[in-house]
Amino acid sequence: MSGAGFAGLTAAVALAQRGWSVRVHERGEKLREEGAGIVLWQNTLTVLDSLGVTDELNAGSMRPPYYETRMQNRIVSQEGMDGIAWRTMTRPYLHSVLLNAARAAGAEVVAGSEVVGATETGTLRLRDGSELEADLVVGADGVGSAVRDSLGIDYDRQGSRDGITRFLVGRHKEELAAIEPDTEWDNVIDFWNFEPRVLRVLYTPANDRELYIALMAPAADEDGSRVPIDLDLWTSIHPQLAPVLREAAVTPGRYYGYSTTRLEHWTQGRVALIGDSAHAMCPALAQGAGCAMVNAYTLAEAATAASASDLPDALTEWERLERPYTDRCQERSQDYADTRGMSQGGQFTGDVMETTLYDPTDPRRHDVA
């Protein structure tokens, strides 16, 4: 397996729990996650529950009361997600939960070990020249996937006009409450602003101590997309967030343009791609890592049900059944990114909920009525 991110570790846990002998090669010298925060929805929380990590996950994460959307600082909706599970947390925390679970399940996770390619017969090539044989190769090595590119799997990439810079900062709850006493600062608050320019702050409490903020600006806006952030510019648009913006201004970050990657196929022989290597998407629906973990789980189930000789066909069938859900999620996320449609609020309803409501642990999910 290549890549100890969320997709790779989820596959490692699910496979090891099903009796596979698993080794994950991570090119980073340290096993850690450098990202900021994340929202997980019911589809992914269901997977994590079946991996047995719910108690540990809940101990370090939270369920905000509402997902609030504001336009020009006026509330347009507050969605409580009745009956739907969702939680917020930091990415380093989610990573530590998965890493603990992978080790507890008996998977070996090796840092500083870079995979440079794979063959469809199940050979993994490492940077140091060694070659390893596996029944199943999982390429969970990110948007620049060496596993994918070594196999020559074709893809197209569609950009969008906006992008974001993400930070983890302190909660600053008392300072925020002093500025706006009537605001529920435990809510996720999506602060949209179109006039005098497009600058959005997605405010996501991750736990008691940490706050995830994502600052969105068009790529064409040089000052808006600058890192370190232009503090005067951002506070002029979002003055009530001054305490957290001040901390973001002295925190390292990087601006990422939104884009979608679509592959010709996710599997080839004994190799399956999951996560950003296969289906990187715009973050509007907060399902990039979520779909990655869902696909990691269903891949482990499908591979376990197959015999060694049937594995390539089983992978093809897994892609045929599971991929359409991710394809539609990519489409909707790209559409929201292109239209900035989430600014209208009330967005967690109808078709877009398909991804969240999908239950990858239900053995009857593909039955036709």
> What is the phi/psi pair of residue 180, to 5°?
-130, 85
291 near ligand 5PR, rule: CB under 6 A: no
Using rule CB under 6 A, residue 39 touches ligand 5PR:
yes
Least distance between ligand 5PR and beta carbon 160 (Å): 10
Residue ranges with strand state E in the chain: 23-25, 37-41, 67-71, 74-79, 86-90, 108-110, 115-118, 123-126, 131-133, 137-139, 155-170, 188-192, 200-205, 210-218, 255-263, 267-268, 271-273
14 binds ligand 5PR (CB under 6 A): no
Residue with tokens 């197209």, as numbered in its chain:
156
Select from 51, 164, 206, 303 the one that contacts ligand 5PR (CB under 6 A): 164
Task: Name the amino acid, one letter, at 129.
Answer: G
Of 368, 364, 357, the C-alpha closest to 46 is 357
- How far CA 131 is from CA of 15, 125, 127, 272, 311, in Å, comes to 21, 5, 9, 18, 21
Contact status: 51 vs ligand 5PR (CB under 6 A) = no
Could you tell me which residues come within 8 angstroms of residue 338 by beta carbon, excluding any fewer than 6 positions away?
A: 160, 161
Q: Report residue 354 as tokens.
A: 């398909």
Q: What's the chain's Rg over C-alpha atoms?
A: 21
Q: What are 126-135's contacts with CB under 8 Å, separation 24+? A: 126/25, 127/27, 132/23, 134/270, 135/270, 135/308, 135/311
- Compute the distance between CA of residue 25 and CA of residue 42 in angstroms, rounded to an integer: 29
| Nearer to ligand 5PR (CB atom), residue 164 or residue 299 | 164
The distance of closest approach from Cβ of residue 205 to ligand 5PR in the complex, given in angstroms and rounded to an integer, is: 12
Cα dihedral: 303, 308, 314, 318 (round 10) = 20
Q: Which of 283, 290, 312, 360 binds ligand 5PR (CB under 6 A)?
A: 283
The one segment of 61-69, 150-158, 241-249, 278-286 that binds ligand 5PR by CB under 6 A: 278-286
Strands 123-126 and 188-192: unpaired
Q: Which stretch binds ligand 5PR (CB under 6 A): 131-139, 218-226, 262-270, 282-290?
A: 282-290
**Minimum CB separation from ligand 5PR for residue 25, in Å?**
27
We find the least distance from the C-beta atom of residue 185 to ligand 5PR, in angstroms, to be 17
Is residue 89 part of the contact set for ligand 5PR (CB under 6 A)? no
Q: Is 289 in the site for ligand 5PR (CB under 6 A)?
A: no
Q: Which of 47, 136, 286, 311 binds ligand 5PR (CB under 6 A)?
A: 286
Q: Does 45 bind ligand 5PR (CB under 6 A)?
A: no
Residue 211 as a binder of ligand 5PR (CB under 6 A): the answer is no
Quick one: which of 48, 102, 284, 329 contacts ligand 5PR (CB under 6 A)? 284
Q: Whose Cβ is closer to ligand 5PR: residue 284's or residue 303's?
A: 284
Stretch that binds ligand 5PR, among 57-65, 74-82, 105-113, 283-291 (CB under 6 A): 283-291
Give the shortest CB-259-to-ligand 5PR separation in angstroms: 12
Chain contacts with ligand 5PR (rule: CB under 6 A): 39, 164, 202, 214, 216, 283-284, 286
